[in-house]
Copies of this chain bind each other. A is one copy, B any other.
Amino acid sequence: MRNLKYAILGLVNREPMTGYDIKKAFEDRALTSFWHAEHSQIYPELKRLVDEGMLNFDTDIRGEKMEKKLYTITPAGRNEFLEWLKDDVPVERTYKDIFRLRTFYSESLTDEEFLTLLKSQLKQHKEKRDHLAEIRRSVFLDTPPEKGTRELGDYMVLDGAVLREESYVAWLEHCIKIFR
């Protein structure tokens, strides 16, 4: 499905970037909530996208001799990206989740053992939710940006991430209530 291809094309379509910039973007809290890639996956994909005529690059010098490659999207790349973006695809049947897998088998744990796991997950998901909500508050003042701006995309996925964490927290709290 080449999803990484489109994730990268979309970033470079926003503005010219280096591989390192792309790696950094995938570490940003908003993007990382629904996509991620290591640099070992990014650099080969960038090379491939250049071979396929989707991207060009210029070599920049920073300081005395440190080289970096600044990638730019080609018209063909932009076209492919826009076609992909329009695709209406069926929802993913499975959102893999290891903790839910453990929960499925929790009959084999003692109540205390499972409660410990539930509480640890709850703590982590609450922290994640609060962190994401704090970004939404500090960056967007909890108000959606104007339509047609890049910031609106950022806002919407951040908002979705907060909702997802809230829902996870509600589920964990429900499970804890059952076990007490």
Contacts and interface: CB of A to CB of B under 8 A. Distances in A.
Given A153-B106, A178-B144, A34 B166 contact: no
Count class of interface residues, chain A: 35 or more
A9 to B, nearest CB: 9
Chain B CB within 10 Å — which of A10, A89, A100 has the most?
A100
Contacts of A94: 32-36
B3 A98 contact: yes
Given A125-B91, A154-B104, A164-B167, A147 B179 contact: yes
Contacts of A88: 116-117, 120
B152 A174 contact: no
User: How often does this chain occur in the complex, in copies?
Assistant: 2
A104 B156 CA distance: 7
A140 interface: no
A178 B178 CA distance: 37
B147 A104 contact: no
A135 to B, nearest CB: 15
